A and B are shown apart, each in its own frame.
Chain A
Amino acid sequence: MRFLVMVKGNDESEAGVLPEPELFEEMGRFNEELVQAGVLLEAAGLLPSGQGGVRLSYSGRDRTVTDGPFTEAKELVAGFWIWQVRSKDEAIAWAKRIPFEGGEVELRRIAEAEDFGEAMSPQVEEQWERLRRQPNVGQ
């Protein structure tokens, strides 16, 4: 299963203040650990909402476009990871290791193809059996 791990913004992230070099290094080590465990699929930091941040709101056919910066830094996302883990507990265990000394992260489970969960009829199983032996186009 996959989780989107969102790092919440704060006044510093909104002001574009870079973290201390030590945190940068620790973060590098942590990311390396994630990569080596095969957990890390994607990671990115986001620029302050004043630099390219845009909000669109929809009302019927109307679209309202609002440029950043936005207030309420804590409601913003300052960066994210996508992790592949075996369980929510594993995601939490990794999240506890993030070398933050303040702030907040939010973990959200990414919706996956749960279609495997449905019991398949024997006919469907047969079809799969056939597909398994199909060359080229069946892969």
Chain B
Amino acid sequence: MASETKQAIEAVCRIEWARLIAGLVPIVRDVGLAEELAQDAVVIALERWPESGVPEKPGAWLMATAKHRAIDLFRRNERLRVKVEELGHALEWQDIDDIDLDAIDHGIDDPLLRLIFVACHPVLSAEARIALTLRLLGGLSTEEIARAFLVPVPTVAQRIVRAKRSLTVARVPFEVPGKSERPERLTSVLDVLYLIFNEGYTATAGDDWIRPSLCEEALRLGRTLAELMPDEPEVHGLVALMEIQASRLRARTGASGEPILLLDQDRSRWDYLLIRRGLAALARARAAGPLGPYTVQAAIAACHAVARTAEETDWEQIVALYDVLNEIAPSPIVALNRAVAVGMAFGPAEALPLVDDLGREPALTAYHLLPSIRGDLLHKLGRRDEARADFERAASLTQNARERAFLLERARACLS
């Protein structure tokens, strides 16, 4: 038997990690304890597998090992035993080695799905949900999460400890929420995945591989979720949105790392495998039920993805989709995006009154993009003096030196 490296063993354990925890929670009735036991099992694997080789069914091996650890722990620790008894749960030790991981049924009662819902439970803060999801489902270490979010390791460790405690204290049941609760709880899950994705997608600084890899982590979790909840349109919608956005990752950066706007991107550098996957997920979302906000955003992203050139973009379709989005998830930012699309589809004269209306929106009064967009529309209409005033106003609102210079340059150009 060839000896196994630490990395190889860790990779095997990480494949099993989420299912291992998910399988342990119903037995020990505590997410935190389940995670500790899973960690113990991995440590034992790291000790033994270099000699013995990776067992044929590593998942079952880890599970059995974790359960034996649980027995030891309960025997030695009166407090834990009392706690478990309090919960009215009888542990059936004799069955411990018989559980076949492969036999755990998939579907709506899948333990992995329950674990996802628990990690994204509303009793937890957004940061805690993100950290716990990456730790329990993605198998990232505390150090990796800290590096990904540019926060100190102890902060993340604290967050995870507190999150696990909150779940225990709140006695959050280990289950997939019932029909009435599910839409809201699912939204929380999807939002967590999208936050993780965006953290990677907008990663700026970076010789650190881990931040962009958050995109992959979110995508993988999204695909897993889509497999577990195939009837939920918004799950496919989110996956579609992430696949299509990820398809542009390599096109949105220039040679020296500078960002390239969507309409200026070299479309031959887009990843057409991901686009195709995104379009397929979008089709599934649309077939599965009514349009939700993620599906509509995915549909907008798809309009760009299927246009062979920027000029061929179906802006009328994009406007129609923003209309839908504005209906189901209204916000001033959505309305502003819609106005931009209207300008592209029907000309600046159509868009200008919309932007003017939005100028009265309290949330947007100090938002520099509003006068910047208005200035652009006015410039296209040949109303240069007004355009100049708007560009100058936008320049005064932005905190960003480069952007201010750019806007002032546009203002100057209106004079000539």
Q: Which of A93, A116, A119, A128 is the one whose CB lies under 8 Å from B259?
A: A128
Q: Is the CB of B257 within 8 A of A124?
A: yes
Any chain A CB within 8 A of the CB of B366? Answer: no
Q: Is the CB of A119 within 8 A of B224?
A: no
With contacts A127-B258, A131-B259 taken as known, whether A38 is within 8 angstroms of B220 at the C-beta atoms is yes
Chain A, interface residues (CB within 8 Å), range: 35 or more
Q: Is the CB of B402 within 8 A of A117?
A: no
Cα distance A44–B5 when bound, in Å?
31
Report chain A residues within 8 Å CB of B373. 135
Secondary structure dominating the interface of B: helix
Chain B, interface residues (CB within 8 Å), range: 35 or more
Any chain B CB within 8 A of the CB of A132? Answer: yes
**A100-119 contact mask (Cβ, 8 Å, vs B): 1 or 0:** 00000000000011011111
Any chain B CB within 8 A of the CB of A18? Answer: no
Q: Which of A39, A120, A131, A139 is the one whose CB lies under 8 Å from B257?
A: A120
Q: Is the CB of B221 within 8 A of A92?
A: no
Q: Is the CB of A135 within 8 A of B336?
A: yes
With contacts A119-B206, A124-B258, A132-B202 taken as known, whether A90 is within 8 angstroms of B402 at the C-beta atoms is no
**B54-73 contact mask (Cβ, 8 Å, vs A): 1 or 0:** 10000000000000000000
**Most chain A beta carbons < 10 A, residue from B205, B213, B249, B304:** B205
Q: Is the CB of B250 within 8 A of A126?
A: no
Any chain A CB within 8 A of the CB of B212? Answer: yes
**Chain B residue nearest in CB terms to A38:** B220
Question: In the complex, what's the smallest C-beta–C-beta distance from A31 to chain B, in angstroms?
Answer: 11
Could you list 10 further interchain pairs (A-B, Cβ under 8 angstroms) beyond the known A38-B222, A90-B15, A116-B253? Answer: A35-B223, A35-B227, A37-B15, A41-B273, A84-B220, A115-B250, A116-B206, A117-B207, A126-B402, A135-B336
A to B CB contacts below 8 Å, 5 in the list = A42-B273, A89-B8, A90-B11, A93-B8, A123-B258
Task: List B residues at the A interface (Cβ < 8 Å).
Answer: 5, 7-8, 10-12, 14-15, 54, 106, 202-207, 209, 211-213, 216, 219-224, 227-228, 245, 249-250, 253, 256-259, 261-263, 273-274, 277, 301, 304, 333, 336-337, 340-341, 369, 373, 400-403
Which 5 A/B pairs are nearest by Cβ-Cβ distance?
A: A113-B250, A38-B220, A89-B11, A38-B223, A128-B204
Task: List A residues at the B interface (Cβ < 8 Å).
Answer: 35-39, 41-42, 82, 84, 86-87, 89-90, 92-94, 96, 112-113, 115-121, 123-139
